[in-house]
Structures are given as C-alpha cells and as structure tokens.
Amino acid sequence: MAVKEVLLYPDPRLKEICSKIEQIDATVDSLLQDLVDTMVAAGHSVGIAAPQIGDTRRAAVVDVAKSKLGKKQKNHGLLQMVNPEILEKAGDQVVREGCMSVPDYTGNVNRAERIVIQFLNREGQLQVIRAEGFEAIAIQHELDHLDGHLFLDRISSLKTDLFRRKQK
C-alpha cells in the first residue's frame, strides 16, 4: 500500500492507548500492509505498531528473521498481529532497545525471555504462539506501543541506562 511517516517522540499520539479492532476488513488489511511496507522501507526495523504511523487501532507487525539476532534463533518470520495479547511471560532479561520513534537513543530495558501471545492474523484466524529471545523482545516492544508506552518508559535510570546513538 504505502510507506508512512513514522511519528517521533514526543508526539502525543505515541502515548495514546489503542482501541480493539472489532472486524478485520479492507481498512485493517490496508493498515497491516502499510505497517509492513514502512518497516521494510526503514531497512533496519524488526517491527512497527499502528500508533507509530498515527493509527490508534491495535495492530502491529514483527519480523526478526532477517536481522542479525533473529537469524541466530528460531522465529516465526513475518507476524501480522491484530489485537495481540500476551498470555504468559517467563524469565527476565535486560536488553538494549532502540525504536524508530526515538531514533537518537537506545536504552537498557527489562523484558521477559519467553512469552506466549495470541492475536488474530491478517485473515482473522486466532493464532497462539510461543516466542523467545530476540523475537519475544521485539513483540513485547511493539505491544507496548499499543498501550501508549515507549521503551523510554521502561528504563530504570535515565542517567545509566539511556544512550545516545552514534551518528553515521
């Protein structure tokens, strides 16, 4: 469909809680395709959520398969998620995260090592999957966006856990 402009922090739309999608129709299909197109066009992204392109519906996409960390671990490839919900979390790890909406910084964030998630796929079918490692981290990051949270909100100390990205 289209590559969309990614909203940047501190845009207030990034803090909005997204609404549940009641019916998968052509507008949802278009939203998912816009998310995929925008993620792919970024070149380095492994996920994006609807509020990052200014849409307040509960939809996100994740694909870690082509990333350096994702290639090392089993993953599910392209996930196109409508109304995703984490059912279980296990383990605990601190990871360095970045975000297209906060392009100048990365930060240390505490995430679950393994999750079980349910969502509707693009065809409206209920999916329940187990994810671990980098894929689980990416999914948790994108689902935070649906609840109005950025990785900045999960950093325990801005003084010790927030880092300016090196400019290329």
Catalytic residue IDs? 142
Concatenate the DSSP letters of all residues of 78-147 into one string.
Answer: -EEEEEEEEEEEE--EEEEEEETTEEEEEEEEEE-SEEEEEEE-TTS-EEEEEEEHHHHHHHHHHHHHHT
Say whether 19 sits in a helix, a strand or coil.
strand
Say whether 62 sits in a helix, a strand or coil.
strand
The alpha carbon dihedral of 129, 135, 137, 140 has a sign of: negative
